[in-house]
Amino acid sequence: MIEAESTELQINQSVDLKPYNSLAISAVAEYFCSVQNISQLESALAFANNNNLILTPIGGGSNLVIASDLTGLVLHIDLKGIEIISSDKETINIRFAAGENWHSSVTYCLENGCYGLENLALIPGDMGAAPIQNIGAYGVELCDFVHSVEVIERATGNLKRLSCDDCQFGYRTSVFKQTAKDSYVITAVTLTLNKTPKVNIDYPSLQTSLETDNPSPADIYQAVCHIRHSKLPDPQDIPNVGSFFKNPIVNKDVADTLAQNHPELPIYAYSPSQSKLAAAWLIEHCGFKGCRKGDVGVHDKQALVLVNYQGDGAAVLALAEEIKSVVLQTFAVELQVEPRIYGNLT
């Protein structure tokens, strides 16, 4: 164990990453620390910078494929705290520290009369990871509620606040996956929520599972939990990182041709010139749904979800490559991996 300068930060060597590895791939961090406050975070950054170590910040680990042992410092963000920042007649701004669990935060908001996040119930992971891929489900995305995101700049240790516009959110993407990839560690997220219920029931499968035409936010929360429980495996039971691929965005003419040849393919409007295709449908119609290849496979209720029975990083990534290649050959559509992949195998 190494004591970093003048803080109580503990940095350990050769740490098993199992608790942070939703795919249960066996992997060890060269150095590992967990930070509970900003000064510990600053010390951890200084330790990585001074020793020229690769830094891998992690939250709950639910959207990471840790494909092999990691060199450098793995930094677990364990900052806690929920605070009301301001409110007016209609809305309330709540600041969540990056280490707050996402689903517990959704539940907290609903129980305290702050509405909007119900459709995002049960998404695994922590608050600090949510802006990176602009988490979304059942017709709602995180960016609909982001007021600002607080970060610490990795190179300088400077604290900054990014506005919702600064974050450049898009479908499962943000500045944190693009131009600012690896520039910042997210420390807190402030969300603007509604004080009066404003429900969103546009998503077809949500609509059909609701038992009333006039649902409350609590009805939506229950329905979303029910759908997710029935379709998506719990990583504790069957290791997985949720959707392994993004729904591909293609030009409208490509979507029109696909629709002519495959009238059942679900296609959603995305922008005036682009459409979004259901990747799960494409994968299912290449015969992968429910398949098992050695120690890895595809979930039998949601073809977008890869599951790991006992495989290693190479086995998971080989299956992902096979799916990509067969979907490309069959439909001429290129799938993109959605979780972040760490390790020496890519």
Residues that are catalytic? 172, 243, 338
Residues linked to residue 249 through DSSP beta bridges, in sequence order: 276
Q: Among residues 32 and 235, whose Cβ is nearest to ligand EPU? A: 235
Q: Based on CB atoms, which residue is closest to ligand EPU, 160 or 246?
A: 246
CB of 85 to ligand EPU, least distance (A): 28
Residue 245 neighbours by CB under 8 Å, 6+ apart:
279, 283, 304, 320, 323, 324, 335, 336, 337, 338
Count of residues engaged in binding ligand EPU, rule: CB under 6 A: 19
Q: Is 275 in the site for ligand EPU (CB under 6 A)?
A: no
Question: Which one among 246, 252, 262, 340 touches ligand EPU, defined by CB under 6 A?
Answer: 246
Q: Which span sits near ligand EPU by CB under 6 A: 8-16, 146-154, 279-287, 311-319?
A: 279-287
**What track of x and - describes contact with ligand EPU for positions 121 through 160 (by CB under 6 A)?**
----------------xx----------------------
Closest distance of CB 189 from ligand EPU, Å = 18
- Which one of 131, 289, 297, 331 is in contact with ligand EPU (CB under 6 A)? 289
Angle at the Cα of 177 from the Cα atoms of 37 and 102, rounded to 5 degrees: 50
What is the C-alpha separation between 295 and 138, in angstroms, rounded? Answer: 31
Asked whether position 280 contacts ligand EPU by CB under 6 A, the answer is yes
Task: Give Dmax over CA atoms of the chain in angstroms.
Answer: 66
Name the residue among 95, 142, 135, 134 with its Cα closest to residue 116: 142
Residue 281 Cβ vs ligand EPU, minimum distance, rounded to whole Å:
3
Which residue's CB is nearer to ligand EPU, number 188 or number 279? 279
Residue 205 contacts ligand EPU per CB under 6 A: yes
* Residue list 69-108, contact with ligand EPU (CB under 6 A): none
Sign of CA dihedral 5, 6, 7, 12: positive
CA distances from 225 to 12, 59, 156, 236 (A): 37, 22, 41, 16
Spatial CB neighbours of 297, under 8 Å, sequence gap ≥ 6: 290, 291, 306, 307, 309, 319
Question: Is position 266 an interface residue for ligand EPU (rule: CB under 6 A)?
Answer: yes
- What is the chain's Cα-based Rg? 21
Sign of CA dihedral 24, 292, 303, 119: negative
What the block records as the tokens of 309 is 């029975």
Task: Find the shortest distance in angstroms from Cβ 52 to ligand EPU.
Answer: 34
Decide if residue 303 touches ligand EPU (CB under 6 A). Answer: yes
CB of 234 to ligand EPU, least distance (A): 12
Q: Which residue lies nearer to ligand EPU by CB, 81 or 204?
A: 204
Stretch that binds ligand EPU, among 189-197, 240-248, 253-261, 307-315 (CB under 6 A): 240-248
- Give CA 316 to chain center in angstroms: 18
Q: How many separate helices (H) and strands (E) can be counted in the chain?
A: 7, 21
For the record, the structure tokens of 77 come out as 């963000």
Closest CA to 46 of 149, 160, 185, 162: 185
Using CB under 6 A as the binding rule, whether residue 302 contacts ligand EPU is answered as yes
> Of 152 and 280, which has the nearer Cβ to ligand EPU?
280
Instruction: Tell me: does residue 281 bind ligand EPU (CB under 6 A).
Output: yes
Position among 40, 68, 243, 275 found at the interface with ligand EPU (CB under 6 A)? 243
Which residues of the shown chain bind ligand EPU in the complex (CB under 6 A)?
Answer: 137-138, 172, 205, 232, 242-243, 246-247, 266, 278, 280-281, 284, 289, 302-304, 338
